[in-house]
Amino acid sequence: MDSLYPQAPYAEDQPNAPAILYIHVMRASAMTFTFFSLARIPITLIRNRVRGLPVNTSALLARTLQSSGRAFVAGSAVGAFMTWGRMRDREDIEWQDRSWRILGNKGEVQTDWVTMGGMGAGAVAGALAARRGVLPVSVGKSVIGGAAAGSSVGKKKY
């Protein structure tokens, strides 16, 4: 995010403070929701192992991508709502201070880069898998789900 919105020398000079704060919280919330949606894989594998059923990996991955995409969208919406609820009726300097601190936090900036890289890789992998017929899901859903899963996997890798 630091390349989109460079950090000002002083917090009170930080431009685009609401956009920075909304993007940050929405990214973190979407990533968290998606991370929890990925629990579908081990739960399904353990359940099928206990029941003695075979695992259809293609269907499992397709369902996982779809639930990851939904979780990503829901997490983004919840993040926007949380930011609005927390920051309503706040002064401009409070928005600027929080945004300035986010841009100054090297860990958050690194997380943004890792997350964006994971999202890009996941979107490409999802698109390729859907276009080649590996996954029984549309290309659009596969791209969104792949980007969502990639964001969470990218952060975990970091």
CA distances from 53 to 22, 48, 105, 158 (A): 44, 5, 48, 35
**E-only strand ranges, 51-133:** none
1 within some domain: no
6 within some domain: no
Two tokens, residue 102: 């986010």
45 within some domain: yes
50 within some domain: yes
Return the pLDDT at 154.
61
56 within some domain: yes
71 within some domain: yes
User: What residues have CB less than 8 Å from 51, skipping those under 6 apart?
Assistant: none
64 within some domain: yes
- Other Cβ atoms within 10 Å of 44 Cβ, number: 17
- With 70 as the cut, is the pLDDT of residue 26 above it? yes
21: containing domain: 15-157
∠9-14-16 over CA atoms, to 5°? Answer: 150
d(CA 154, CA 51): 32
d(CA 19, CA 126): 29
Tens digits of residue pLDDT in 57-101: 888 888 888 999 999 999 999 999 999 999 999 999 999 999 999
Return the pLDDT at 156.
56
Decide: 123 and 117 in contact? Cβ < 8 Å.
Answer: no
Euclidean distance between the first and the last CA atom of the chain, given in angstroms as a whole number: 17
Decide: 93 and 12 in contact? Cβ < 8 Å.
Answer: yes
Q: What is 110-145 written as a DSSP string?
A: HHHHHHHHHHHHHHHHHHHHHHTTSSSS-HHHHHHH
- With 80 as the cut, is the pLDDT of residue 153 above it? no
Count how many domains the chain has.
1
7 within some domain: no
